[in-house]
Amino acid sequence: MKLLNTGETAKLLGVAPSTLRYWRMLHIGPKFIKLSARNIRYDHGDVEAYVAAKTYDPSARASLEGIYANR
């Protein structure tokens, strides 16, 4: 298990560290580990799973909706 701090996780996701803090407050975003009040870590695997869950394939949706069926 590789643990990342907030800064490393923010860089990996392309967001500001303050965004991750805001997401934690709203209970959204990747899973995190709270070792203490000021010691937050993210499991690299959980961050990858979060990104994978947010990945969309527009061509798959189009085929499900039959957009290309009439071509």
Q: Give domain status of residue 55, yes or no.
A: yes
Tell me whether residue 51 is in a domain: yes
pLDDT of res. 55 = 87
Q: 71 in a domain, yes or no? A: no
Whole-angstrom CA distances from 14 to 10, 20, 55, 60 are 6, 11, 15, 26
Mean pLDDT, contiguous 10-residue spans, the chain (71 residues): 97 98 96 96 97 84 62 53
Position 69 in a domain = no
Domain that includes residue 40, residue range: 3-64
DSSP secondary structure, 4-20, as one string = E-HHHHHHHHTS-HHHH
- Alpha-carbon distance of 20 to 40, in angstroms, equals 11
Question: CATH number for the domain including 57?
Answer: 1.10.10
**Number of compact structural domains in the chain:** 1
Residue 27 within any structural domain of the chain: yes
- In a domain, residue 70? The reply is no
Which pLDDT score is estimated for 58?
77
Q: What is residue 61's predicted lDDT score, i.e. its pLDDT?
A: 65
What is the C-alpha to C-alpha distance for residues 36 and 24, in angstroms, rounded to an integer?
Answer: 14
Strands annotated E in 1-71:
3-4, 33-36, 39-43
